[in-house]
């Protein structure tokens, strides 16, 4: 009994040390293990079709599925693939939550807060975000917000040599794609632009806005090239 207790104590200490030395890696390993279990044992496609909005991105996916001849009756293999794709996308959400919190707080707090999406944001049918469009759009928005926040932190610390306008353009591209996937996120994106303006970073706000426009126009043109009317998907 004593020997087993010692082994358990040693293992716990090693796990704690690994978590302290590699917080992001340990977080992602936990998130991956949770997703492997959910992907294997949760039935269906991983999303509630009734809660999925019609957006430019969903229109693009529907066209690609039609080209490849994929339908919802394609069998259990497609269901497993769909669940795996949702679970993979959700890993980006976990990662971005950690990185954003790490910018404004400690790594310990970032690790604890990122555990929330690690366990509760796995796929639309298994988590707190039931809308498929919101689920797919969230990591794009978080990535864009992370890039903007990182540049603002550098600017706040007078590290202007590391502040790049192209970073705001990249952030805008991601935020624009987020809007294409989840229209309601336009209000979140608008608040990011307003915050940049309030902080008197007008150039950053302009570059971000340009990136947003490029994303939306590019996806609309891609749909048009594929023979799909983009206006069909311009609805809330």
Q: Which of 107-111, 137-141, 180-184 has the lowest mean pLDDT?
A: 180-184
Residue 44 to residue 53: CA distance in whole angstroms: 19
Predicted confidence (pLDDT) per residue in 132-158, tens digit: 888 888 999 999 999 999 998 888 877
Contact criterion met (CB below 8 Å) for 66 and 223: no
Residue 47 to residue 69: CA distance in whole angstroms: 20
Residue 89 to residue 31: CA distance in whole angstroms: 12
Under DSSP, is residue 233 helix (H, G, I), strand (E, B) or coil? helix
Residue 82 sits at the vertex; the CA angle it makes with 75 and 23, to the nearest 5 degrees, is 145
User: Which residues pair with residue 41 across a beta bridge?
Assistant: none
Torsion, Cα of 40, 91, 140, 226 (10° steps): -40
Please name the residue ranges forming H helices in the chain: 2-21, 23-41, 56-68, 76-104, 107-120, 132-156, 165-181, 186-198, 202-225
Where b means 16+ CB within 10 Å and e means fewer, 161-192 reads eebeeebbbbbbbbbbbbbbbbbebbebbeeb
Locate 135 and state its tokens. 């689920």
When pLDDT is cut at 50, 70 and 90, the band that residue 175 belongs to is: very high
Predicted confidence (pLDDT) per residue in 61-76, tens digit: 666 666 656 555 556 6
Listed in sequence order, the residues at least 6 apart from 201 whose beta carbon sits closer than 8 Å to its beta carbon are 152, 155
Predicted confidence (pLDDT) per residue in 87-100, tens digit: 999 999 999 999 99
Q: What is the pTM of this model?
A: 0.83
Q: Is the pLDDT of residue 214 over 80?
A: yes
When pLDDT is cut at 50, 70 and 90, the band that residue 187 belongs to is: very high
Burial class (CB in 10 A: 0-12, 13-18, 19+), 28: middle
């Amino acid at each position: 009994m004593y020997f087993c207790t010692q082994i358990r104590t040693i293992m716990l200490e090693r796990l704690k040390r690994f978590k302290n030395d590699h917080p992001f890696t340990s977080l992602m390993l936990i998130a991956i293990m949770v997703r492997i279990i959910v992907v294997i044992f949760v039935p269906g496609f991983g999303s509630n079709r009734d809660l999925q909005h019609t957006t430019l991105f969903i229109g693009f996916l529907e066209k690609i599925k039609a080209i490849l001849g994929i339908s919802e009756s394609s069998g259990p293999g497609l269901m497993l693939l769909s669940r795996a794709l949702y679970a993979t996308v959700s890993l980006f959400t976990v990662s971005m939550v950690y990185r954003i919190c790490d910018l404004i707080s400690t790594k310990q707090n970032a690790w604890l807060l990122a555990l929330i999406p690690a366990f509760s944001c796995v796929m639309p049918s298994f988590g707190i975000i039931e809308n498929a469009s919101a689920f797919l759009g969230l990591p794009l928005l978080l990535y864009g917000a992370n890039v903007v926040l990182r540049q603002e932190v550098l600017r706040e610390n007078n590290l202007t040599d590391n502040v790049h306008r192209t970073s705001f353009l990249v952030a805008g591209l991601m935020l624009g794609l987020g809007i294409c996937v989840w229209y309601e996120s336009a209000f979140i994106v608008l608040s990011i632009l307003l915050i940049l303006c309030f902080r008197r970073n007008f150039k950053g706000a302009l570059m971000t806005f340009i990136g947003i426009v490029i994303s939306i126009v590019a996806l609309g043109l891609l749909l048009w090239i594929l023979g799909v009317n983009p206006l069909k998907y311009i609805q809330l």
